[in-house]
Amino acid sequence: MSKQAKIEWLVNAFFNGDPSVVENLESYWHNDQAIQKLHDEFIENTITNFYVPLGVAPNFKINGKMYCVPMAIEESSVVAAAAKSAGFWKDRGGFKATVIDTCKIGHVHFFWNGSNPKVLYEWFEKNKAVFTEQTKVLTANMEARGGGMKSVKLINKNHLEEGYFQLEARFETVDAMGANFINSCLEQLSKTLETELSGSDLADCDKEVEIVMCILSNYTPECIVKVEVSCPVDELTIGENVEPIDFAEKFIRAIRIANIEPYRATTHNKGIMNGIDSVALATGNDFRAIEACAHAYASRDGQYKSLTNATIDSDNTFRFWIEVPMALGTVGGITKLHPTVKFCHELLGRPGAEELMMIVAATGLAQNFGAVRSLVTTGIQKGHMKMHLLNILNQLEATDQEKEIIRKEFETKTVSHKAVVDAFCSLRGIKSDHKTLKGK
C-alpha cells in the first residue's frame, strides 16, 4: 500500500472515515517533501510525524567547556531542572567528567554436545587466528578509524544450561554506537565456527554445533563514564532558609535511601534517565539500549540501586557523582540524516562519542541534583505544578493574555487542577465546572 492508501485504510477501519483525522495526520507532515520522505523511510508504515518538544538547557560547564544541551522530552520541569542545576554547578567548578572505558561486547550463543569441553577449548585455541582473520573484511574500515574487534574467547556456560557455550567478542567502535558492525562480526564468527569445526579433524561427535543466535549485548559495563560535581559544603547555598550543612546531610540521606530501597531507587534513577534519555533522543541515539543498560548496571550487586552517589569528605567537600555505562554514537544511524538531530550535534560542537557520553551523563547528574534538591527542600510539586500550570491552561484553551494573568496569580498560590480551573472560570466570568473542563 502507498502511504495514502495506508492512511485511508486506517481511517476507515478505526475512525469511521472521519476526514478530520486525515487532516490532523497530514498537518504534521513536513512542508519539504524531501525531508518528509526521509522521515517516512526511517521506519515502516509511517503515516505522519510524532512531535516531542526540543528544549535546551544552557550553562553546562563540563571539563571547563561550556555547552547548551539539547533535550527532547514531553515532560514539563525536566529542562528547567537540568538548566537550574547546570547554572548552580557552573559557579562551583562545573562537571568533571571522565570516560573510564569504551569496550562493547557481543556473543555467539551456541550449543555443543561433544565428548568433552576440553576438546572444544583446545581446538578453539589452535584455530583462534582464523576467527580474527575471517572477520578482516568487516573490521578493516573500523580498524582504520582506530577501532575493531579486540578479542574473541570461548566461554563454557554449561553450569547454566547443558551444552551451552558462547563466543564472546570485545569491540572498540570509536564514534559509532556500533550495533551493525558488532552484529555483522558476530555472524561471521558463527559461520567460521560452523565451517571450521565441520572441516576439522575432530571426531564426528565433536564437529556438530548448533548456533542459536549472534547479537551484541546492550549491557556494556565496560563502556563507562563518570561525572562528578563538588564544592565546599559552605557553598551549597540553596535557599535563605536552608543551612548548607543541613542540606548536604539530607541530600546524602536521600541518596542513601535510593541505595538501600529499590522502590525509591527506581524513581531516583527514572529522574536521572529524564536527563539521559532526552539528550540521547535529541542526538539520535538509541535511548532504549541506554535505559536497559543503565538499569542492568544499577542491579550489578544483586540489588537495584542508585546510579548516583554523594559524600562529604573529611575536608568538608560535598561530592556528588554518577557512574553509568553508555553506548553512544555520533556517526551512523540517523545522526547525519535527521535534520534536527544534525542541528543538535552542531549545537554541541560536533562531539565525538566519548565527549557525548560525558555530556549525556552530566545531564543525568544535573537532573538528579535538581530532583533530589527539590525533594529534600521545597518538595517536588512546587516547581513541577508551576510548570504544569501551562499544560492545564493549554487544555482549557486559555489565550496568551489569560495565561499571563493566571500565571502571575499563581506565583504566590499553590497550583492544583481545580484551583487553575476556578481561576480561569472566574477570569472569564463563567460558572466553574471542574468536571466538564477536566475532560477537555
CB of 368 to ligand MEV, least distance (A): 6
Does 271 interact with ligand MEV (rule: CB under 6 A)? yes
Question: Catalytic one among 228, 286, 305, 388?
Answer: 286
CB of 152 to ligand MEV, least distance (A): 41
Instruction: Determine the size of the site formed for ligand MEV (CB under 6 A).
Output: 10
Q: How far apart are CA 436 and CA 419, in angstroms?
A: 14
Q: Which of 267, 299, 381, 426 binds ligand MEV (CB under 6 A)?
A: 267
CA atoms within 13 A on the CB side of 242: 18
Maximum distance among all alpha carbons in the chain?
A: 92
Report residue 54 as a C-alpha cell: 526540543
Q: Which is nearer to ligand MEV, 326 or 372 (CB)?
A: 372
CB of 375 to ligand MEV, least distance (A): 6
Does 380 interact with ligand MEV (rule: CB under 6 A)? yes
Whether 96 sits among the annotated catalytic residues: the reply is: no
Report residue 225 as a C-alpha cell: 563514564
For residues 76 and 364, the answer to whether their CB atoms sit within 8 Å is: no
Q: How far apart are CA 103 and CA 307, in angstroms?
A: 20
Whether 101 sits among the annotated catalytic residues: the reply is: no
333: left (phi over 0), alpha (psi -120 to 50) or beta: left
Report residue 234 as a C-alpha cell: 559552605
Q: Which of 167, 179, 231, 371 binds ligand MEV (CB under 6 A)?
A: 371
Rounded to whole angstroms, what are the CA distances from 60 to 82, 88, 276, 310, 412? 9, 10, 14, 20, 30
Site string (63-82) toward ligand MEV, x via CB under 6 A: ------------x-------
**DSSP assignment of 76-108:** TTHHHHHHHHHHHHHTTT-BEEEEEEE-EEEEE
CB of 365 to ligand MEV, least distance (A): 12
Does 268 interact with ligand MEV (rule: CB under 6 A)? yes
Q: Which is nearer to ligand MEV, 139 or 278 (CB)?
A: 278
Q: How far apart are CA 171 and CA 327, in angstroms?
A: 12
**Chain centroid offset of residue 2 CA:** 33
Q: Which of 207, 270, 403, 417 binds ligand MEV (CB under 6 A)?
A: 270
Contact range with ligand MEV by CB under 6 A, out of 220-228, 270-278, 312-320, 344-352: 270-278
Whether 286 sits among the annotated catalytic residues: the reply is: yes
Question: Catalytic one among 191, 270, 295, 417?
Answer: 270
Q: How far apart are CA 64 and CA 92, in angstroms?
A: 11
Site string (273-312) toward ligand MEV, x via CB under 6 A: -x--------------------------------------
Whether 270 sits among the annotated catalytic residues: the reply is: yes
* Binding-site ranges for ligand MEV (CB under 6 A): 75, 267-268, 270-271, 274, 371-372, 375, 380
* Residues designated as active site: 75, 270, 286, 384
